[in-house]
Structure 1
Amino acid sequence: MKEKVVFIYLLVLILAGCTYAPLPKQNGNEGTEKKLTKEETKESDKIFLLIGVDTRGEQKSRSDAIILAKYFPEQEKLKLASIMRDSYVKIPGNKSGYNKINAAYYYGGRELLKKTIQENFDVKVDHVAVIDFQGFVKMVDLLAPEGVAVNVDQEIIDDMSIQASVGKNVLHGEEILKYVRFRHDDESDFGRVERQQEVMVQLKTAFISRISSFEGMAALPSIIEQGLSYLDTDIGLKTIMEMGPKAVFHTPDTVETLRVPVEGSFKDEIYPQSGAVLEMDCTENKKALQEFFSK
């Protein structure tokens, strides 16, 4: 049986919910920007947890995509850190002590996953959004109705039954889901995480292009409202609606990504209660995440 895999991206949340940023230049004062207020600085310092799940109708599910996001308004930069689902961590309150990090969501939902991240990496999560397979498909088509351009090789086409040819293809929701689910090559989950992050950046670009016109601006409230219907998030519609227009003027120029565990900081192990895991150097990876989100 294929392992459950999913990719999450809440672009609306990242752009609208993380972008408390300086106002655009005005009145011909080149190089002059409004400084962030204390409230804006506080909001811009928040970290968002994006969780991808595949419920398939079950009562419980594991989180198969775990992504931390933070926006840096002064640098107009967005940072995304993907935590590999097989990362072997200590799960608070779990009788076995250690397990794969994706088991935390199964045992205790978003709250336990937040607590697990904080206790293992010393990263405090401020807001959470959860999406499943069907929500992801709809979100992709909402944010990028013209499709997403990706390079597809024969292994992906054969394994995932993607209707595409070898090379660059423009794919839509269902096919993009297959593209980011693929993991049956030499790169395994590592390649899958790279494809997740690749599609994130493409969705960001497509969405910004869409809302940059007058028609796009006019449609922004309905896009946000529709996007939120595909998600389970602790950020209210009113809050995002209020922040949404700021995204048009303060979209991130740069997207930086990180994968945890970082290169050279882990080894493959097998444990009876968990199966195959990535046993990592917790100190090294905690430091990597701390440094990544500190500047």
Structure 2
Amino acid sequence: MKEKVLFIYLMVLILAGCTYAPLPKQNGNADTEKKLTKEDNQESEKTFLFIGVDSRGEKKSRSDAIMLAKYYPEQEKLKLVSIMRDSYVKIPGYKSGYNKINAAYYYGGRELLKKTIRENFGVKVDHVAVIDFQGFVKMVDLLAPEGVVVDVDREIIDNMSIQTSIGENVLHGEEILKYVRFRHDDESDFGRVERQQEVMVQLKTGFINQISSFEGMVALPEIIEQGLSYLDTDIGLKTIMEMGPKVVFHTPDTVETLRIPVEGSFKDEVYPETGAVLEMDYAKNKKALQDFFSK
């Protein structure tokens, strides 16, 4: 039951748009909170895989965003790891041996991606949640019905065909999807992750604002149910609906983040079968990820 409660909490983070962004600390009532036992804490320390896929309903797709999350109840701390989609890794059973990590989802879905992460980084995934482009667009409009304020430049507008002007604009679901997917400048995927963080923070704020009033709390179950309809996950809706209102206000005191590959541990390479990749120092990145999750 403890791992289900934890997964529900992390699912609410998705609904709050916190997939890529550090969360602000929120104060709870320490006198009324039930303290977990050591055994409870060990059982609750599960690892969760969140996958954003480059699909609009197709049967097969690649993972456009990959994130691991782990919550430590004893320290009231959440750790988030983003794995760059062009990371060059060994894919179990793949004929050529190595490919970009986002190809694992294309060839074998969530199970192959889980195996790939375990084989390359030594991390066992306990639960998975997947959202595609259509789901993301709907989630944005659900959490931020008034739109999201972003600053766009001419390069993004022209490349992604966004119907707006240069500078600060209020964009909605479809345009926000284009905005966070843009990567055709000097910053490439690294700049895209920054834009994702920017948008996710605003989505979190929009979600919290919606449920901060009495009317919002009444509407919370409907918001969660609708949001979960955009996700494909391995935890039941009933449990999430029962626990969601309780856990949404119990955010961790500390959120730590990591990006794989870590700084100074990779180089840009090009291979005939895969194109441009991030070729990693596997030992260094495996150690970095395991050290990050072990502290």
TM range (shorter): 0.7 to 0.9
Give the letter aligned to residue 264 of structure 1.
G
Question: Is structure 2 residue 162 aligned with structure 1 residue 157?
Answer: no
- Is contact 1:52-1:65 (8 Å) kept? yes
Partner in structure 2 of residue 101 of structure 1? 101
Question: Is structure 2 residue 242 aligned with structure 1 residue 242?
Answer: yes
TM-score, normalized by length of structure 2? 0.84
Quickly say closer, same or farther: Cα 1:124–1:44, change in 2 above 3 A: same
What is the distance in 1 between the residues matched to 2:42 and 2:133?
33
In the TM superposition, residue 13 of structure 1 has moved relative to its aligned partner by: 5.5
What is the distance in 1 between the residues matched to 2:63 and 2:272?
20
Partner in structure 2 of residue 25 of structure 1? 29
Quickly say closer, same or farther: Cα 1:161–1:277, change in 2 above 3 A: same
What is the distance in 1 between the residues matched to 2:152 and 2:78?
26
Quickly say closer, same or farther: Cα 1:114–1:278, change in 2 above 3 A: same
Give the letter aligned to residue 136 of structure 1.
F
Quickly say closer, same or farther: Cα 1:104–1:248, change in 2 above 3 A: closer
In the TM superposition, residue 67 of structure 1 has moved relative to its aligned partner by: 1.4
What is the distance in 2 between the residues matched to 1:254 and 1:195?
22
In the TM superposition, residue 57 of structure 1 has moved relative to its aligned partner by: 4.9
In the TM superposition, residue 179 of structure 1 has moved relative to its aligned partner by: 0.7
Deviations 1:236-290 (A, max 9, x none): 1012112201233203455443221111110111222222111001111112222
Give the letter aligned to residue 25 of structure 1.
N
Partner in structure 2 of residue 281 of structure 1? 281
Partner in structure 1 of residue 263 of structure 2? 263
Quickly say closer, same or farther: Cα 1:248–1:146, change in 2 above 3 A: same
In the TM superposition, residue 63 of structure 1 has moved relative to its aligned partner by: 1.1
In the TM superposition, residue 15 of structure 1 has moved relative to its aligned partner by: 6.9
Partner in structure 2 of residue 91 of structure 1? 91
- Is contact 2:45-2:72 (8 Å) kept? yes
What is the distance in 2 between the residues matched to 1:14 and 1:59?
23
In the TM superposition, residue 72 of structure 1 has moved relative to its aligned partner by: 3.8
Give the letter aligned to residue 55 of structure 1.
S
Q: Give structure 2 stretches of 5+ with no counterpart.
A: 1-9, 20-26
Q: Give structure 1 stretches of 5+ with no counterpart.
A: 1-9
Quickly say closer, same or farther: Cα 1:157–1:113, change in 2 above 3 A: same
In the TM superposition, residue 14 of structure 1 has moved relative to its aligned partner by: 4.5
Q: What secondary structure does 1:203 align onto? A: helix
What is the distance in 2 between the residues matched to 1:185 and 1:58?
28
RMSD of the TM alignment (CA)? 2.6
TM-score, normalized by length of structure 1? 0.84
- Is contact 2:15-2:139 (8 Å) kept? no
Partner in structure 2 of residue 214 of structure 1? 214
What is the distance in 1 between the residues matched to 2:177 and 2:194?
14
Deviations 1:46-66 (A, max 9, x none): 222111112345432111111
In the TM superposition, residue 97 of structure 1 has moved relative to its aligned partner by: 1.0
Give the letter aligned to residue 194 of structure 1.
E
In the TM superposition, residue 158 of structure 1 has moved relative to its aligned partner by: 2.0
Quickly say closer, same or farther: Cα 1:245–1:175, change in 2 above 3 A: same
Partner in structure 1 of residue 69 of structure 2? 69
In the TM superposition, residue 24 of structure 1 has moved relative to its aligned partner by: 4.0
Give the letter aligned to residue 88 of structure 1.
Y
Alignment of 1:1-295 (within 5 A): 12=12, 14=14, 24-25=28-29, 29=31, 33-37=33-37, 40-42=40-42, 44-74=44-74, 76-252=76-252, 255-295=255-295
- Is contact 1:14-1:69 (8 Å) kept? no
What is the distance in 1 between the residues matched to 2:208 and 2:11?
10
Deviations 1:146-178 (A, max 9, x none): 322323222112221223333333322111101
